[in-house]
Amino acid sequence: MLSTKIGILGGGQLGLMLLQASVDWNLDISVLDGDPDAPCSKLAPHFQQGSIQDFDTVYAFGKGLDLITVEIEKVNIDALEALEKEGKQVYPQPSVLRIIQDKRVQKQFYQDHGIATAPFVLTDSRADVRSNAAMLPAFHKLGKDGYDGQGVRKIATADDFESAFDAPGVLEKAIPFEKELAVIVARRPGGEVRTFPVVEMAFHPEKHLVEYLFAPASVTREVEDKAVTLAVEVAEALGITGLLAVEMFLTKEGDVLVNEVAPRPHNSGHHTIRANVTSQYEQHWRAILDLPLGDTSSFSPAAMVNLLGEPGFEGPARYEGIEKLLAEKAVFPFLYGKKITKPFRKMGHVTVMSENLELLTEKVDFVKSNIRVIS
């Protein structure tokens, strides 16, 4: 199966890290992305510029391959379904992508399968949102096309209704949570699953973007078990082949609720490249190639800091402070090679490792105050 011709839809940083992991097994990989300068463009064994949302482009790309995967959900699912019908392996399956791609369908899926999630109503318009004042405080999420914190609006009081999307979405009750957790599950076609240790995420206060995370999460064994069980429950309900990253809320009452999921490698697993026996990227290959899943245990507690484009800078990217980071023990910057930086654009990440949470926190602070992505 190592000679399988593999295609990745999307050539961003997740694709890049998948490529890096694929080197060990000499996988034959083609990447499709609309941007000729995408992070994968120089490194992919085969790179094709083209829209991952266009039926004909995706279909033609997949025709010459054996196995197609994704590094982003926003792809042409019709084309993937057509390819699947013709006998191509498509993992995650188009049916799973269809559920996840639309946050409305995703939420409904949780409800239908008795999976714990925050209360919500489906809304078709801004007027619809207004008529659900009882849900406030809440978040309004676009059904489709949201990414990296785009497509989410906080509706704290009736004064915020103006900022709701006037398009199909989900109005979700804001949960007064204690922490946000994530678990990455890998599942093989036959059903074998394996999970990575629970991580704890800190989000940027305004941008709804992961700012940094700690692994493992500082939670009780009981919460850990709940989170892992819930994540596996979602993966099994979906019947996904590949990785599923499950983001969850830990409520003040100690309950764990699914927030949302991603059917691919995820920001909350970047640190596994350095800190775990098997990285999430290698695990994705193992799962979709139907190979035995790898050991997910970690060598050391770790934290991951996202390197976001500094506000106020837009243009050719420059990383300031890399050398200071490299001079520290077990501080590992990973740069995505995007030519242009923009405020809050994900430009890279930094993994740090240390024996305990206190030292990790110090290292995270050090990283945050010593590196900037400017222009």
Cα–Cα dist 20/371, whole Å:
24
42 binds its own copies per the rule CB under 8 A: yes
Tokens representing 326 are: 């490299």
319 binds its own copies per the rule CB under 8 A: yes
370 binds its own copies per the rule CB under 8 A: no
Size of the site for its own copies (CB under 8 A): 36
Residue 164, sorted as left (phi over 0), alpha (psi -120 to 50) or beta, turns out to be beta
Between the CA of residue 39 and those of 229, 248, 299, 359, what are the distances in Å? Answer: 35, 29, 28, 32
Stretch near its own copies under the rule CB under 8 A, chosen from 64-72, 87-95, 167-175, 330-338: 330-338
38, 231, 304, 353: which one binds its own copies (CB under 8 A): 353
Cα–Cα dist 135/174, whole Å:
8
Tokens representing 363 are: 């290292």
Query: Any binding-site annotation on 368?
Result: no
Query: Any binding-site annotation on 100?
Result: no
Strand duo 120-123 + 169-173: pairing: antiparallel
Nearer to its own copies, 101 or 283 (CB): 283
Whole-number minimum distance, CB 304 to its own copies, in Å? 13
Pair 348, 319: CB distance under 8 Å: yes
Strand duo 67-70 + 120-123: pairing: unpaired
94 binds its own copies per the rule CB under 8 A: no
Query: Any binding-site annotation on 175?
Result: yes
326 binds its own copies per the rule CB under 8 A: yes
Whole-number minimum distance, CB 191 to its own copies, in Å? 16
6, 8, 9, 16: which one binds its own copies (CB under 8 A): 16
Q: Where are the beta strands (DSSP E) in 56-198?
A: 67-70, 89-90, 120-123, 138-142, 152-155, 169-173, 177-187, 193-195
133 binds its own copies per the rule CB under 8 A: no
Query: Any binding-site annotation on 174?
Result: yes
111 binds its own copies per the rule CB under 8 A: no
Cα–Cα dist 144/104, whole Å:
8
140 binds its own copies per the rule CB under 8 A: no
334 binds its own copies per the rule CB under 8 A: yes
Q: Where are the alpha helices (DSSP H) in 289-356?
A: 322-326
Stretch near its own copies under the rule CB under 8 A, chosen from 76-84, 127-135, 321-329, 365-373: 321-329
Cα–Cα dist 52/148, whole Å:
18
Cα–Cα dist 97/221, whole Å:
32
49, 125, 300, 361: which one binds its own copies (CB under 8 A): 300
At 309, is the secondary structure helix, strand, or coil? Answer: strand
20 binds its own copies per the rule CB under 8 A: yes
374 binds its own copies per the rule CB under 8 A: no
Pair 135, 171: CB distance under 8 Å: yes
Whole-number minimum distance, CB 42 to its own copies, in Å? 4
- The annotated binding site for ATP is made up of 103, 141, 172-175, 180, 259-260
Residues that bind its own copies (CB under 8 A): 2, 16-17, 19-20, 23-26, 39, 42-43, 45-46, 277, 286, 291-292, 294-295, 299-300, 319, 322-323, 326-327, 329-330, 332-337, 353
- The annotated binding site is made up of 103, 141, 172-175, 180, 259-260
